[in-house]
Amino acid sequence: MSDSFRSILQTVVPDDGTRDSLISSVIPFLLGSVAEIAKALRESHHVATMGTANSFGDNQLNVDVEAEKLIRKAISRCPFILTASSEEDPVERAVRDKSGTGQYCVAFDPLDGSSIIPANWTVGTILSIWDGPSALGQVPAQRQVAAILGVYGPRTTAVVAVRIPETGRRTCFEVALDDKGWIMTKWRVTRPTLTLLSSNSTGASYFSPANLRAAAQDPRYMSLVTSYIARQYTLRYAGGLVPDVVHMLVQGKGVYLSPVTAQSKAKLRRLYELCPLALVVECAGGEAVDPSDGRRVLETVVTSCDERSGVVFGSGEEVRAAVGVLMGKE
């Protein structure tokens, strides 16, 4: 980890040393797994189904399985992680004896957007870090302390967000992996601050309409999409949650929408996708809201590994306006 990387993290952790392991061990080990996944993807020229499914019934690709293994390996080497669960193995399992030095639980989606890998599109990894041995039964705003989004495209980058509940300090920044002769060992800070700006700021406005089939069933969603087109917003939708949200963060504005209907049900899992993305967006100054009831994503207790819901991410004004339309208030 570079000195600039470490210095950013040191601005948000308490001075009493209670969070030192987050900087010295947990985040570096997890970023190490992102580097290993990047290398594995570059060498995986044949992407195919394994003939197996995870516990949710989703078909597994060979790259899904490999990414899972690499993250599990990194977690097993970190003495400060107590338990872990993933979208491929959605059960919180002890990494080591809970009486040890462990401090955190990790929940992760090893390869988000793997269905678009055959087209060689950008995909990502989603990792979240929670206080204590379990993320279940917890209020995310109080117990989720960090999230990492690995981004595998022409470059390998990662967005790191940290918010310490006891101090309220937060940060959101981007790092890039230096690739020297295929030896991927060093991350350097490329954007020390990622901030979602007001929708009134200059430049193009962006929208990413996920679960677009729902627009055929919900006239409110259809009217919202139509209004973005009429106002000449720029469409940016890759079909992968990580690249779509990271594009918004890099541009500094925009809105990502994934409402649901009775026919087009929620696909995004709160533990592995929505909560970590919500932390990232909020640490960048944006908002993350459930369009069905208008509540912050991070206010709702996570009750199960398969809990799902819709979401609207983005700049505050954009999110509030979109949720108002989707809830029939505007």
Beta carbons within 8 Å of 147's beta carbon, 6+ residues apart: 126, 127, 128, 129, 160, 161, 275, 276, 277, 279, 280
Regarding the domain with residue range 3-191, which homologous superfamily does it belong to in the CATH classification? Answer: Fructose-1,6-Bisphosphatase, subunit A, domain 1 (3.30.540.10)
> What's the pLDDT band for 97 if we cut at 50, 70, 90?
low
pLDDT tens-place string over residues 231-273: 999 999 998 999 999 999 999 999 999 999 999 999 999 999 9
Q: So what's the pLDDT on residue 250?
A: 95
Among 6-20, 56-70, 204-218, 241-255, whose mean pLDDT is lowest?
56-70
- Would you identify the CATH topology of the domain 206-326? D-Maltodextrin-Binding Protein; domain 2 (3.40.190)
Residue 50 in this model has a pLDDT that exceeds 60: no
Helix ranges restricted to H, the chain: 3-10, 20-21, 27-43, 62-77, 140-143, 219-230, 241-251, 275-283, 316-326
Average pLDDT over all residues of the chain: 90
**Residue ranges of the domains in the chain?**
3-191, 206-326
Mean pLDDT of 313-328: 94
Model confidence pTM above 0.95? no
Residue 98 in this model has a pLDDT that exceeds 80: no
Q: So what's the pLDDT on residue 276?
A: 98
Give the residue, 311 or 186, on which the prediction is more confident: 311
Separation of alpha carbons 128 and 106, rounded Å: 6
> What's the pLDDT band for 223 if we cut at 50, 70, 90?
very high
Q: So what's the pLDDT on residue 258?
A: 97
Q: So what's the pLDDT on residue 181?
A: 47
Give the residue, 139 or 179, on which the prediction is more confident: 139
